[in-house]
């Protein structure tokens, strides 16, 4: 909120410039702080509207980032730090997710799986240490799968059937130890969608959908359990219009593909691409123009 209301903040200005240049009808944001009244999201939408698209409809839910548990979630022997929330965060809502849309966001059919316990995912890769569940059995009793969230959000389109956004923001598969806690969680946050589309939790969408978000996993480069993203990319209900395109540049690692926009196979993809602006973010804005 502080940075958005500063009219001279260069990073916010670069973000707005990038969004305005692409002018998407529906925009999913990741890494934006959540607040109860939606003030930061409203301020950003108002700033974008000055020279870019007008987003009348805004949506955000409290993320797991920074949601403290009172337990030592990362096994360092201390509770109450940023890594001891349900997801990494210095405060509740740190770097959450949000949606801006030109079209109405429907509450009918809205599904939020952010409170799903990790252990309740079929075949969950729960981390183990030398003495059993890592960091403890008490942690695994309350540990949620989502580091930020897993949302299924219907969007009402004029003169057409609704479309469904399926979005998430997975933890990086690094910053852990031999137990590979973050690597396994990243895997399972991605694999969730395979189970969801198979009907394991609730009825999946019957119409067109778009699965999109930061999976924090490159199919080929870097760390992580690659089978999670390769399985998703090869799902028969999904198409990949940006196959092989890098979406982020890391110091020392170079270009990688971490961010995904995957329409259901019944869409016709007119065009797609990645809008890069290093002044806004090391991540690009990935976009697709879809038709029925």
- DSSP letter string, 151-169: EEEEE--TTS--EEEEEEE
**Token duo for residue 5:** 């209301």
Average pLDDT over residues 49-74: 97
By CB atoms closer than 10 A (0-12, 13-18, 19+), residue 7 is exposed
Rounded distance between C-alpha atoms, residue 66 and residue 82, angstroms: 6
Tell me what pLDDT residue 262 has: 98
Rounded distance between C-alpha atoms, residue 275 and residue 284, angstroms: 5
pLDDT higher than 90, residue 24: yes
Q: How many domains does the chain contain in total?
A: 1
Q: What is the dihedral of CA 50, 56, 57, 59, to 10 degrees?
A: 40
The tens digit of pLDDT for each residue in 244-279 reads 999 999 998 899 999 999 999 999 999 999 999 999
Q: What is the dihedral of CA 128, 130, 133, 135, to 10 degrees?
A: -100
> What average pLDDT does the structure give for the chain?
96
Task: Confirm if 96 and 148 have CB atoms less than 8 A apart.
Answer: yes
Tell me what pLDDT residue 7 has: 79
Tell me what pLDDT residue 125 has: 98
pLDDT higher than 90, residue 202: no
**Token duo for residue 223:** 């760390």
Is the preceding omega at residue 135 within 30 degrees of 0, hence cis?
Answer: yes
By CB atoms closer than 10 A (0-12, 13-18, 19+), residue 100 is buried
99 lies in which domain range?
A: 2-291
Question: Strand, coil or helix: what is 118?
Answer: helix
pLDDT class for 289, splitting at 50, 70, 90?
very high
Rounded distance between C-alpha atoms, residue 291 and residue 216, angstroms: 28
* Beta strands per DSSP E along 121-258: 128-129, 132-133, 150-155, 163-169, 209-214, 248-250, 254-256
The tens digit of pLDDT for each residue in 113-140 reads 999 999 999 999 999 999 999 999 999 9
pLDDT higher than 90, residue 47: yes
Question: End-to-end alpha-carbon separation of the chain, Å?
Answer: 37
Tell me what pLDDT residue 176 has: 95
Under 8 Å CB-to-CB from 137, ≥6 apart: which residues? none
Average pLDDT over residues 26-43: 96
The tens digit of pLDDT for each residue in 142-154 reads 999 999 999 999 9
**In this structure, what CATH number is given to the domain that contains residue 184?**
3.60.10.10
Average pLDDT over residues 200-206: 89
Average pLDDT over residues 58-84: 97
**Token duo for residue 138:** 């008490």
pLDDT class for 203, splitting at 50, 70, 90?
confident
DSSP conformational letter for 117: B
């Amino acid at each position: 909120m502080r940075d958005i209301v500063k009219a001279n903040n260069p990073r916010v200005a670069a973000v707005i410039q990038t969004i305005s240049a692409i002018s998407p009808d529906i925009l999913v944001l990741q890494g934006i702080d959540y607040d109860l009244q939606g003030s930061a999201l409203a301020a950003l939408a108002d700033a974008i509207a000055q020279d870019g698209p007008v987003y009348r409809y805004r949506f955000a839910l409290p993320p797991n980032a920074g949601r403290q548990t009172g337990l030592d979630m990362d096994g360092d022997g201390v509770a109450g730090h940023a890594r001891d929330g349900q997801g990494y965060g210095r405060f509740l809502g740190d770097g959450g997710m949000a949606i801006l849309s030109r079209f109405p966001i429907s509450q009918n059919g809205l599904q939020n799986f952010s409170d799903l316990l990790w252990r309740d995912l079929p075949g969950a890769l729960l981390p183990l240490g030398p003495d059993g569940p890592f960091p403890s059995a008490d942690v695994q009793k309350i540990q949620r799968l989502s580091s930020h969230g897993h949302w299924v959000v219907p969007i009402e389109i004029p003169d057409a059937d609704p479309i469904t956004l399926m979005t998430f923001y997975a933890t990086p598969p690094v910053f852990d130890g031999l137990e590979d806690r973050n690597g396994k969680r990243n895997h399972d946050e991605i694999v969730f969608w395979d189970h969801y589309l198979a009907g394991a939790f609730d009825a999946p969408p019957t119409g067109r959908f778009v699965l999109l978000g930061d999976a924090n996993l490159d199919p080929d480069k870097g760390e992580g359990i690659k089978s999670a993203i390769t399985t998703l990319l090869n799902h028969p209900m999904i198409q990949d219009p940006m196959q092989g395109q890098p979406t982020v540049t890391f110091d020392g690692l170079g270009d990688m593909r971490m961010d995904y926009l995957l329409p259901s196979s019944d869409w016709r993809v007119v065009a797609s691409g990645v809008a890069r602006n290093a002044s806004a973010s090391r991540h690009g804005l990935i976009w697709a123009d879809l038709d029925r």
